[in-house]
Structure 1
Amino acid sequence: MPPFSYEMHEMAHLAVVPARIASHVAQTWWKSPANPLSYTAFGRNLVASAEVFERLTRRYHKPGFGFNFTMVGDEAVPINERIVWERPFCQLRHFQRPFEPPLAEPQPKLLIVAPMSGHHATLLRGTVEAFLPYYDVYVTDWVDARTIPVSVGKFDLDDYIDYLISICKLLSKEQDGVPLHTLGVCQPAVPLIAAVALMEAADSPHVPASMTLMGGPIDTRRSPTKVNLLAQERGGAWFRRHCICAVPYGYQGAGRDVYPGFLQLAGFMAMNIDRHVNAHFELFNHLIEGDGDSAEKHREFYDEYLSVMDLTAEFYLQTVDLVFVRHALPDGHMRHRGVKVDLSAIRRVALLTVEGENDDISGIGQTSAAHDLCRNIPRSMKADYLQSKVGHYGVFNGSRFRNQIAPRIREFHRSEASVKPSAASLTLVKSS
């Protein structure tokens, strides 16, 4: 990575500000009802061009979850979003329902561990929304590393695991018989299963009732994707040289070494560049045709997808080295602060793995590898599910997630397998 590359990225944003201002002025004038040309094809083309240009050059800030209520049956139940636990690099958000009926049965707790991989936790908005009617939901909201002063200290994979152990202790401390279920989406599959293994090895009373791992890189040697092969080919030293930058002055985290979110986003988009180019051509056409609903769906998706955060260099490099280069977890060599992470120690926590047939980030078998490694979990407490016709994003979002994957997760939690060994109600196979 050339020196000052982060500064060059910031300068590029500043350089287009005059053009963005001119584009905004033009867009306002050409779509004004007072301008008779706004009703012409020429005017609509100019307005569409101005919006596409503005969206391609803007800086996307972190959006909010925006939940005000959820539907429980036919009743709208208010939602209060609160931060119930906080550390420098993470906030635990609770979607509280303050007006439950007095005699209502307490709902199980669900901890959704969001990925720390460049996007904000709000990328899981659809995941959270699908579970709100059925669970008392919590989600890890990771903090953008460029906003954290260097004086706060480092954050690596060991710290990530410590955070998860602390959160499990907090949520299971006074359950009164209410089970705690955990769900790790993509990257958190490794730290989540490691945290559970360490708690089990210590005979902790705070282990969750279950863990659901979705599209996670437990063993990236199985069905390796382009991402896996690149990491294996280049090695950790290459990523240190080419992907790590210092946060520039102007941010609270100035001087902190990070893996910038814009690099991660560029990598994701490059994998499917045709799809993203076509999406913006379609936006242009929707705007010209006056198809407001389709244009709004595009805006909602890309407002989220293009909003990214920086990762601490030590977390990113340690993850690349342990998970993608050395395969330390499946090989039995992973350690947490000098203590071996032994997945065979897990015996009380039910395990569900979920994979997507067309996942180009975590290939088929990479997540389900956890079943072989967690050999002391009774078979009656294990299940695997392969969802057809979905890619990586579809594993945790979209219609197939809502209609097929989420109900199976709820059923797994309701089954006896999530509490004690029994005849498994789920031996899940590929969905039709």
Structure 2
Amino acid sequence: MFYQIYELSHAAMSPWRAAADAMRLAYTNPLNPISQTPAGRTMAAGLEVFERTTRRYGKPEFGIRETTVDGQIVPVHEDIVWEKPFCKLIHFHRGLPQKHKPDPKILIVAPMSGHYATLLRGTVETLLPNADIYITDWVDARMVPMTDGSFDLDDFVDYIIDMLHHLGSDTHVMAVCQPSVPVLAAVAVMEKRGDPLAPRSMTLMGGPIDTRINPTAVNALAETKPIEWFRDNVIMRVPWPQPGFMREVYPGFLQLSGFMSMNLDKHVIAQKDFFQHLVENDGDSAEKHREFYDEYLAVMDLTAEFYLQTVETVFIEHSLPKGEFMHRDELVEPSAIKTVALLTVEGENDDISGVGQTQAAHRICVNIPEDMREHYMQPRVGHYGVFNGSRFRSEIAPRILDFIRTHDADKKAAKPRATRRRKRG
């Protein structure tokens, strides 16, 4: 019922929102002499804040049209190269210069935690000049009809394995935040099965591998509530007339309210500053605010089965670090990982995945050789700064690319040697 009330409130506000937007356009019209006065700008600013506060934010676009390769600006276009009901795999195809040597192929697994994959736009833009990038584009559960079936944590692992099979053995996988757990599980399953298409390396960034270490407010909530509490309080059915009508979901707006409540004072100050920037005609600062919140406030629903299984397995039972994680009827054994290099990245001020939670992957992946593993902790960044922002561009991304290139070269060099040994035998 709460989801229906939420939808009805949005519908009820639509006429007021349209009227506010029309009045804002009138007050900002350069032909209107009031638009050049403090009173006019104040009125327009208030109307825009109202319109943006009551708006439903749709799925953003990546909007990456070009990048720079070997000092040349080259076009970029998006291709969907793999697709299932709950995910599309996007390839950022670059028009490469002639004689350009092949770059490492990277599969970026975006978090399925309420925001769209476009939250990693900055990650993609930073890596694109030096890598062939693919990214998971998870589908809003409210847009998936019930006839397309369910989607849980086991399906997430299967999707990753399927994508790695599609991309081939020369792929490097990078998991940002939440998918660190299913990515590690998928790689462990592939190595245990002797799968020749296992990735060359995996990079885990700000992920909840072991949330018993430096637990955050997010972890504390999960540990203090039984799984029944989550089912009774945060799981709702998609209302009509959405394509996913009657599907049980964890609504994106609930996830967003949880995130915002953790730093509510900062968001309130940001809105106040935005209003002031508009009044002062500070267009650059106002535009930065719009860009950030257009992305941050665009949220998607998660299937109930995926959300509940993730909460129980990762945050309540800590199954992966305890060696009890099951993928369907198969025990996931991180110790089976022997040929896939491992890089973990954390942020010093991360308030979502505490320091040490991602590094714990090294403790459970005991059979990865020392020269194939590395950990990096970035000073003075929070969770978002682990995969975006100036420090990501200048300090984290170069380390990731260097690690990937090193182990990309190692594997390529190892294959001819193995072939020669077989021929001599």
Using structure 1 for the length normalisation, give the TM-score: 0.94
Counterpart in the other structure of 1:152? 148
Alpha-carbon displacement from aligned partner over 1:28-80 (angstroms, at most 9, x marks no partner): 11112222222111111000001111110101000110111101142101112
Cα offsets for 1:165-201 (capped at 9, x unmatched):
011111116xxxxx31110000000000000000000
Give the match's secondary structure for 2:41: helix
- State the AA in 1 paired with 2:61: G
Give the aligned partner of residue 113 of structure 1: 109
Q: Is residue 228 of structure 2 the alignment partner of residue 264 of structure 1?
A: no
Give the counterpart letter for 2:403 in structure 1: F
Change beyond 3 A, Cα 1:348–1:220:
same
Sort the Cα spacing of 1:209 and 1:418 in 2 relative to 1 into closer, same or farther, 3 A: farther
Deviation of 1:154 (Å): 0.4
Distance of 2:21 and 2:82 partners within structure 1: 41
Larger helix share, 1 or 2: 2
Tell me, in whole angstroms, the C-alpha distance in 2 between the residues paired with 1:166 and 1:310. Answer: 23
Structure 2 counterparts to residues 79-94 of structure 1, below 5 A: 79-94=76-91
SS in 2 for 1:27: helix
Q: What letter corresponds to residue 238 of structure 1 in structure 2?
A: W
Q: For residue 14 of structure 2, what is the aligned residue in structure 1?
A: 17
DSSP 3-state at the match of 1:367:
coil
Q: Distance in 2 between matches of 1:59 and 1:198?
A: 40
CA distance in 2, matches of 1:161, 1:75: 38
Q: Distance in 1 between matches of 2:402 and 2:31?
A: 57
Partner deviation per Cα, 1:141-181 (whole Å, 9 max, x = no partner): 000000011111100000000000011111116xxxxx311
Task: Assess if the C-alpha contact under 8 Å between 1:112 and 1:183 holds in 2.
Answer: yes
- 1:298 aligns with 289
Provide the rounded CA distance (Å) in 1 between the counterparts of 2:271 and 2:398.
33
Q: Which residue is equivalent to 1:41?
A: 38
In the TM superposition, what is the alpha-carbon distance from 1:392 to its structure 2 partner? 0.5
Aligned to 2:421: none
Contact 1:214 1:353 in 2 (8 A): yes
Please give the alpha-carbon distance, in whole angstroms, between the structure 2 residues aligned to 1:336 and 1:223: 26
Shift of 1:367: 0.2
* Structure 2 SS opposite 1:103: coil
| 1:339 maps to 2:336 | no
Confirm or deny: 8 A CA contact 2:200 2:407 kept in the other structure: no
Secondary structure, counterpart of 2:249 in structure 1: strand
- Match of 1:428? none
Residue 417 of structure 1 deviates from its aligned partner by: 8.4
CA distance, structure 2, for counterparts of residue 332 and residue 120 of structure 1: 31
Q: Which amino acid aligns with 1:107?
A: D
Q: Which residue is equivalent to 1:216? A: 207
1:381, 1:418 within 8 Å by CA — same for their partners in 2? no
Q: Say if 2:236 is the partner of 1:245.
A: yes
Task: Determine helix, strand or coil for the equivalent of 2:352.
Answer: coil
- How far apart are 1:235 and its partner, in Å? 2.1
Contact 1:350 1:377 survives alignment (8 Å)? yes
Partner residue of 1:225?
Answer: 216
d(CA) in 2 for partners of 1:51, 1:228: 36
Amino acid at match of 1:231: A
RMSD across aligned positions (CA):
1.2
Contact 1:210–1:418 (Cα < 8 Å) also in 2: no
* 2:264 corresponding residue in structure 1: 273
Cα 1:219/1:418, change in 2 over 3 Å = farther
Residue in 1 aligned with 2:416? none
SS for the counterpart of 1:126 is helix
Question: Is the 2:252–2:300 contact (alpha carbons within 8 Å) kept by the matching residues of 1?
Answer: yes
Which string of whole-angstrom CA distances, capped at 9 and with x for unpartnered residues, describes residues 270-327 of structure 1? 0000111111111111111111111111101100000000000000000000000000
Q: Does 1:192 align with 2:188?
A: no
Q: Is the 8 A contact 2:69 2:96 kept in 1?
A: no
- Which residues in structure 2 correspond to 1:33-432 (within 5 Å)? 33-97=30-94, 99-172=95-168, 179-416=170-407, 419=410
C-alpha deviation, 1:416, in angstroms: 4.6
* Paired residues of 2:62 and 2:118 also in contact (CA < 8 A): yes
SS at match of 2:160: helix
Contact 1:350 1:418 in 2 (8 A): no
Post-superposition Cα deviations, 1:380-426, rounded to whole Å, max 9, x if no partner, equal: 11100000111111100100111100001011112258736x9xxxx
TM-score (norm 2): 0.95
Shift of 1:103: 2.3
Q: Which runs of 5+ in 2 are unaligned?
A: 414-425
Q: Which residue of 1 aligns with 2:423?
A: none
CA shift in 2, pair 1:384/1:125, >3 Å: same
Contact 2:157 2:186 in 1 (8 A): yes
